[in-house]
Amino acid sequence: MSSIPTLRDGGVAIRSIRLRDARALERELAVNRGWLRKWEATNPLGPVGYDARASIRSLLAGSRTGGGVPFAIEVDGEFGGQLNVSSIAYGSLSSASIGYWVAERFAGRGVTPAAVALATDHCFFTLGLHRMEICIRPENEPSLRVVEKLGFRYEGLRRRYIHINGDWRDHFCFGLTVEEVPQGVLRRWRDGKVPASVGVVPEADRRAAASPLRLG
């Protein structure tokens, strides 16, 4: 894996997360606890302690083996969140997934779509990946607006897909391939050329996600 660059769009930047970010990371997670908790991945075997430095070390170890790209999100030079490219696969699959969070005070300012667009363009045009995926809980309307703004295609409902906030949660899945954005995700968005409705979730899938999955 090559070194992780710093990528910018106006006042928004994504750069490699560093061990010295641990204090800022802990502070932001504490301040934004109520904002983030309902979207946090959890361990189905029970609660585990969180160590910011250990988490960063794990992310950086994954980047050295080529399995991920861990970014910090900065807004006007201030630590504002994280964006992780994970599950990187090369060869015949050539794909990866993106997950992210941003501090509540930066929400609604275009920070997240800019960060996601920068990271996706890096994966397509620097790492040579073919497909990027983002999976979002049906209740997470701000994130759903992000993929709609950027033109990620809606691909389907995944039932009880990821353990979030103490239970297995449904997710909507969105994908994008490099052939769809020859000019880049960021440029297409900034130029107002994102196709209408590609990221809109069909009402039937919204209704399905609102209904508990029958088990047994």
The CATH number of the domain where 104 resides is what? 3.40.630.30
* DSSP percent split of the chain into helix, strand, coil, nearest 5: 35, 30, 35
State residue 43's pLDDT score: 86
Q: Helix 111-125 and helix 141-150: axis angle, to 10°?
A: 50
- pLDDT for 39-72, tens place per residue? 888 888 876 678 999 999 999 999 999 999 999 9
215 in a domain, yes or no? no
Structural domain range at position 202: 7-209
pLDDT confidence of residue 112: 98
Structural domain includes residue 216: no
**Does the residue 140 lie in any domain?**
yes
Is residue 1 situated within a structural domain?
no
User: What residues have CB less than 8 Å from 86, skipping those under 6 apart?
Assistant: 62, 67, 68, 96, 97, 98, 99
pTM of the model: 0.95
SS3 of residue 88 by DSSP: strand
| pLDDT tens for each residue of 119-142 | 999 999 999 999 999 999 999 999
Q: Which ranges of the chain have pLDDT less than 70?
A: 1-2, 47-48, 216
Looking at residue 90, its amino acid is Y
Residue 49, pLDDT score? 73
CB 28 within 8 A of CB 103: yes
Residue 74 confidence (pLDDT):
98
- Indicate whether 53 belongs to any domain: yes
Residue 2 lies in a domain: no
Count of the separate structural domains present in the chain: 1
